Structure 1
Amino acid sequence: MILKNVVQKNSYYDSATLMLLSSKVGQHIGSTKQVAVMMGSDMNKDIMRASGLLAAEGEAANPNDLIFAIQAETEAIIEEALAMAQEILNSRSAKMEQQDTQVVKTVADAAARLSDPKLAVVSLPGKYAVREVKKLLRENCHVLLFSDNISCEDENTLKDMALERDLLMMGPDCGTAVINGVGLGFANKLRRGNIGLAAASGTGLQEVMTLISNFGGGISQALGTGGRDLKEVIGGKMMGHCIKLLQDDPETDVMVVISKPPAPSVMERMLHQLQQSQKPTVVCFLGGDENMDANGLYMVHTLEEAACKALELAKVGRPDDLRQGHDPLPAMAQTLREKLDAQQTNIRGLYCGGTLAYESMLLMKQALGDVYSNIALDARLALDGTAPSQGHTVLDLGDDAFTVGKPHPMIEPSLRGERLLQEALDPSTAVILFDVEIGYGSHENPAHVAAEEVAQAKAILAEQGRQVIFIASICGTYEDMQDYATQKGLLEEQGVVVLESNAQAAQLAILTVSK
Structure 2
Amino acid sequence: MKIFCLIKKNTYFDSVTLMGITKRLASLEGVLNLSVSMGSDLNKALLRDSGMSTPEAEAATPNDLIISFCLEDEENTAQLFESIEKGLVNRNKGGASKAKPVGIKSALNASPDANMVVISLPGEYAVLEAKRALQQDLHVMMFSDNVSIEDELMLKSLAHQKGLLMMGPDCGTAIINRKALCFANVVNQGRVGVIGASGTGTQEITVLLDQYGYGVSQVIGTGGRDLSKNINAIMMCDALQALAQDPGTDLIVLVSKPPEVSVAEKVSHLAKQAGKPVVVCFLSEGISRASDANLHFANTLEEGAQKAVALLNTSAKVAPVAVDTALVAELSNKLDAGQKYVRGVFCGGTLTDEARIIFKNQCPDLPCYSNVAKKPEEKLVNPNESVKNSFVDMGDDAFTVGKPHPMIDPTLRNLRLIQEAVDPQTAVILLDIVLGFGSNEDPAGVTLEGIEAAKKAAQQQGREVIFVGYVLGTDKDPQIMKLQMQKLESAGVILGKNNAHAARIAAAIIKGIQ
Q: TM-score, normalised by structure 1?
A: 0.88
**1:242 maps to what in 2?**
239
Q: Cα gap change, 1:464/1:223 in structure 2, threshold over 3 Å: closer, same or farther?
A: same
**CA displacement 1:316-358 (0-9 Å, x = unmatched):** 9x964x747x234322211111111221111111111000001
- Aligned pairs for 1:55-454 (under 5 A) are 72-73=71-72, 75=76, 83=86, 86-92=89-95, 95-97=96-98, 102-287=99-284, 290-296=287-293, 297-315=295-313, 320=317, 323=319, 326-369=321-364, 370-454=367-451
Residue 42 of structure 1: CA displacement? 7.9
**CA displacement 1:261-281 (0-9 Å, x = unmatched):** 332222222122212222222
**CA displacement 1:284-329 (0-9 Å, x = unmatched):** 121166332321223222212222232333349x964x747x2343
SS in 1 for 2:128: helix
Q: Cα gap change, 1:128/1:252 in structure 2, threshold over 3 Å: closer, same or farther?
A: same
Question: 2:166–2:235: 8 Å Cα contact kept in structure 1?
Answer: yes
1:17 aligns with 2:20: no
Partners of 2:34 and 2:469 lie apart in 1 by: 29
2:372 is matched by which residue type in structure 1?
I
**CA displacement 1:152-189 (0-9 Å, x = unmatched):** 22221111111011111112221101111111111111
Residue 504 of structure 1: CA displacement? 0.3
Partners of 2:323 and 2:46 lie apart in 1 by: 47
**1:34 maps to what in 2?**
34
Q: Cα gap change, 1:78/1:487 in structure 2, threshold over 3 Å: closer, same or farther?
A: farther
Residue 389 of structure 1: CA displacement? 1.7
Residue 20 of structure 1: CA displacement? 2.1
Question: 1:137–1:161: 8 Å Cα contact kept in structure 2?
Answer: yes
Question: 1:352–1:436: 8 Å Cα contact kept in structure 2?
Answer: yes
Gaps of 5+ in 1: none
Which shows bigger deviation, 261-270 or 232-241? 261-270
SS in 2 for 1:466: coil
**CA displacement 1:51-88 (0-9 Å, x = unmatched):** 67789998998876766666554656776665555444
SS in 2 for 1:148: coil
SS in 1 for 2:325: helix
**2:495 maps to what in 1?**
498
1:105 is matched by which residue type in structure 2?
V
Question: 1:258–1:284: 8 Å Cα contact kept in structure 2?
Answer: yes
Question: 2:348–2:432: 8 Å Cα contact kept in structure 1?
Answer: yes
Question: 1:51–1:405: 8 Å Cα contact kept in structure 2?
Answer: no
Partners of 2:67 and 2:135 lie apart in 1 by: 35
* Root-mean-square deviation over aligned CA pairs: 3.0
SS in 1 for 2:225: coil
1:134 is matched by which residue type in structure 2?
K
2:332 is matched by which residue type in structure 1?
R
Provide the aligned length of Structure 1 versus Structure 2: 505
Which shows bigger deviation, 204-213 or 256-265? 256-265
Question: 2:25–2:84: 8 Å Cα contact kept in structure 1?
Answer: yes
Gaps of 5+ in 2: none
**CA displacement 1:227-267 (0-9 Å, x = unmatched):** 22122222111110111111111111121111223322222
Q: Cα gap change, 1:35/1:473 in structure 2, threshold over 3 Å: closer, same or farther?
A: same
Residue 405 of structure 1: CA displacement? 1.9
Partners of 1:173 and 1:137 lie apart in 2 by: 17
- Aligned pairs for 1:455-470 (under 5 A) are 455-470=452-467
SS in 2 for 1:230: coil
1:345 is matched by which residue type in structure 2?
K
Question: 2:12–2:122: 8 Å Cα contact kept in structure 1?
Answer: no
2:347 is matched by which residue type in structure 1?
C
Question: 2:34–2:67: 8 Å Cα contact kept in structure 1?
Answer: no
Question: 2:33–2:69: 8 Å Cα contact kept in structure 1?
Answer: no
1:15 is matched by which residue type in structure 2?
S
Partners of 1:55 and 1:391 lie apart in 2 by: 35
Partners of 2:172 and 2:477 lie apart in 1 by: 17
Residue 368 of structure 1: CA displacement? 1.7
Residue 442 of structure 1: CA displacement? 0.9
Question: 2:359–2:507: 8 Å Cα contact kept in structure 1?
Answer: yes
Residue 374 of structure 1: CA displacement? 1.1
Question: 1:72–1:78: 8 Å Cα contact kept in structure 2?
Answer: no
Q: Which has the higher helix share?
A: 1
Question: 2:322–2:501: 8 Å Cα contact kept in structure 1?
Answer: no
Identity among equivalent positions (%) equals 42
Q: Cα gap change, 1:393/1:59 in structure 2, threshold over 3 Å: closer, same or farther?
A: closer
Question: 2:32–2:72: 8 Å Cα contact kept in structure 1?
Answer: no
Q: TM-score, normalised by structure 2?
A: 0.88
Residue 449 of structure 1: CA displacement? 2.0
Partners of 1:291 and 1:42 lie apart in 2 by: 39
Q: Cα gap change, 1:96/1:181 in structure 2, threshold over 3 Å: closer, same or farther?
A: farther
Question: 1:33–1:406: 8 Å Cα contact kept in structure 2?
Answer: no
Partners of 1:360 and 1:290 lie apart in 2 by: 16
SS in 2 for 1:33: strand
Which shows bigger deviation, 406-415 or 177-186? 406-415
Question: 1:15–1:124: 8 Å Cα contact kept in structure 2?
Answer: no
Partners of 2:222 and 2:283 lie apart in 1 by: 16
**CA displacement 1:460-494 (0-9 Å, x = unmatched):** 21122111111110111121111212211221222
